[in-house]
Amino acid sequence: MIRHAGLIAARLGGAWLGVLIEGPAGAGKSDLALRALDQGFSLVADDRVTLWACEGRLFGAAPDTLTGLLEVRGLDVIRLTARPLAQVALIARCGVPERIPEGASSEILGVSAPLIELDPREASAPAKLRRALSHFDAAHKRRI
């Protein structure tokens, strides 16, 4: 399955955990990914993500034609070193978050993953992604 989204990953606890960034065109997905790269995340895919499920886990990678490419609006499409794939451990939906939201999840290809909504243009958005990744245990589908 190919989804209009971005995928970045951070190394936590010895594993690369991915954040699938969803939102409509122009919402700020690529801009958030660019800022997250400056915060230690790695690019997996921008604009389109190929997703698949394996043994109850969700994985993503860039389609071959987009591997290592990131659109930087107002500048160009730039080439970066990218991770070949990542387990999707968190889904971040671009929008207006509640002040203190209830825990939520989203199901893709029969696999449930924690879901957060955030404003991708906030300066703190990359830090919120890292914090959310460290607070969810995707393998056991629980908040830690």
Residues of the chain where predicted confidence (pLDDT) is lower than 70: 136-144
Per DSSP, the residues of the chain read -EEEEEEEEEEETTEEEEEEEE--TTSSHHHHHHHHHTTT-EEEESSEEEEEEETTEEEEE--GGGTTEEEETTTEEEE--B-S-EEEEEEEEES---SSPPPEEEEETTEEEEEEEE-TTSTTHHHHHHHHHHHEETTTTEE-
Domains contained in the chain, CATH given:
2-143 (3.40.50.300)
In this prediction, residue 68 carries a pLDDT of 92
Mind listing the pLDDT tens digit for each residue in 55-95? 999 999 999 999 998 999 888 898 999 999 999 999 999 99
